[in-house]
Amino acid sequence: MFDFDMLGLAPALNDALARSGFTEPTPIQNQAIPLALEGHDILGLAQTGTGKTLAFGLPMIDHLLAQPGKPAPKTAKALVLAPTRELVNQISESLRGLSASTRIRVATVVGGQSIGRQIAVLSRGVDILVATPGRLIDLMDRGAVDLSTVRHLVLDEADQMLDLGFIHALRKIAPKLGTPRQTMLFSATMPKQMEELSRAYLKDPRRVQVSPPGKAADKVTQSVHFVDKAAKPSKLREILSADMDALTLVFARTKHGAEKLMKGLVADGYNAASIHGNKSQGQRDRAIKAFRDGTVTVLVATDVAARGIDIPGVAYVVNYDLPEVPDSYVHRIGRTARAGREGEAIAFCAADEIDLLRQIERLMKVEIPTGSGTRPADHVSGKPVRNSGPARRRGGGGGGGKPGGHAAAKPDHVKARRPRRRRVAA
């Protein structure tokens, strides 16, 4: 293990790290940064919330600072691709913080925002371009960006890009990039397609893996509550009422379901908002900002937010609906227990979701502890849960209250008394 100041980074980067309070790297940073500084291609496998942005951002900016000259109009020296608008904004914010006192210019292009304004920004040239694949293709088709000078490529959350069908966009973008270049690919899971992607875009990569793919963060306590579908709304309110001020992220399967759930919570006095594909980018940004500063304490989301929220204060993730893709469960619960904190992941499982739960547990190679309800007899594996202790919180079962003074769970037949909360418009 080393300190950041032992890496030989540019003084401006060391100053930025010091201002942000970073002293010791995380495991993924510990392994990836020295290799990336040497110029190797990187295949990084790590859970969400482990510090991947600094793992690729620090060596990339260091390399760019060593290169003379400004970017030519319409060009970029480095390209970072991410699957969602929220993740692109998160990465851009981190990179701007690292490069604030340098000449490095970071630009962001995503859908849902003025393409004319993005064209104007790109016309002056940028050092680092952070983009979603779809909007980048639009700009390429308009002749607004020339990628031939890109010598650093980062694919962040590459497995989700594959899930969302961006493989065709990657195949269109890659031939336009400059060579030789350094490519870094980061992912929380390693499906078969990811191996094919790494062979296609990485040259003799150094593989960096800090935990088995599909494994949740060690500090996440998990539980599953077996409930009828009709009982999910009351179960959710019971859980929320036991820790009124905690930031809780609730995942629903569909856009309509997320919006309906949020409106019901607001009507009952909860400070709730929602983000999903039917929301404009401005609405999504405002909801995340309100959630980050605590004005909104319950954020209902679809998987559009599974990897796009980096808020260390998220205490709980509730899987109101289990995801249809098992990997998504790992990414969802990775929204809590970030930056070394502890967190709790609570899942609801109705009768028609038993197979989805089986797939999740098979991927993670654990049996999630039962928080309440009865697990079907044919679904008891007896395997130990390596990353989950007893259910620590609210909602019934699992061994009592959460350390740190959170309220104990009330029995299902006792109606939770909750103070009326100031309503916040969604």
Q: Between these two residues, 269 and 383, which has the higher pLDDT value?
A: 269
Backbone phi and psi for residue 315, each to the nearest 5 degrees, phi listed first = -85, -35
User: Residue 215: pLDDT band by 50, 70, 90 thresholds?
Assistant: low
Evaluate if residue 84 carries a pLDDT over 90.
Answer: no
Task: Give Cα 128 distance to the centre of its chain.
Answer: 21
Sign, CA dihedral 223-316-24-126, equals positive
How high is the mean pLDDT of the chain?
84
pTM over 0.75: no
How far apart CA 241 and CA 270 sit, in angstroms, is 9
Q: Crossing angle, helix 232-241 and helix 255-267, to 10 degrees?
A: 50
Instruction: Work out the number of other CB atoms within 10 angstroms of the CB of residue 169.
Output: 19
Q: What's the burial of 252, exposed, middle or buried (CB within 10 Å: 0-12/13-18/19+)? A: buried
Helix (H) or strand (E) holding 249: strand 247-251
Q: What is the CATH number of domain 4-209?
A: 3.40.50.300
Evaluate if residue 35 carries a pLDDT over 80.
Answer: yes
Spell out the domain ranges in the chain. Answer: 4-209, 220-379
pLDDT in tens, 238-284: 999 999 899 999 999 999 999 999 999 999 999 999 998 888 878 88
Evaluate if residue 406 carries a pLDDT over 70.
Answer: no
Evaluate if residue 117 carries a pLDDT over 60.
Answer: yes
Query: What is the pLDDT at residue 149?
Result: 97
Residue with tokens 């909104």: 296
Query: What is the pLDDT at residue 379?
Result: 55
The lowest-confidence range among 37-51, 99-113, 322-336, 394-408 is 394-408
How far apart CA 359 and CA 333 sit, in angstroms, is 16
Residue 59 makes CB contacts below 8 A (sequence gap 6+) with 32, 33, 36, 37
Evaluate if residue 291 carries a pLDDT over 90.
Answer: yes
Class of 220-379 in CATH? alpha beta
Query: What is the pLDDT at residue 165?
Result: 76
Residue 335 near residue 306 (C-beta atoms within 8 A): yes
Mean pLDDT within 227-234: 96
User: Residue 382: pLDDT band by 50, 70, 90 thresholds?
Assistant: very low
Say which amino acid occupies 335.
R
The lowest-confidence range among 118-127, 172-181, 373-382 is 373-382
Evaluate if residue 124 carries a pLDDT over 60.
Answer: yes
Q: pLDDT > 90: what percent of the chain?
A: 56
- In the sheet that holds 42-45, the strands lie side by side as 106-109, 126-131, 76-81, 152-155, 182-187, 42-45, 206-209
Tell me whether domains 4-209 and 220-379 share a fold.
yes
Query: What is the pLDDT at residue 350?
Result: 96
Evaluate if residue 325 carries a pLDDT over 50.
Answer: yes
Of 398, 411, 55, 389, the closest CA to residue 216 belongs to 389
User: Residue 384: pLDDT band by 50, 70, 90 thresholds?
Assistant: very low
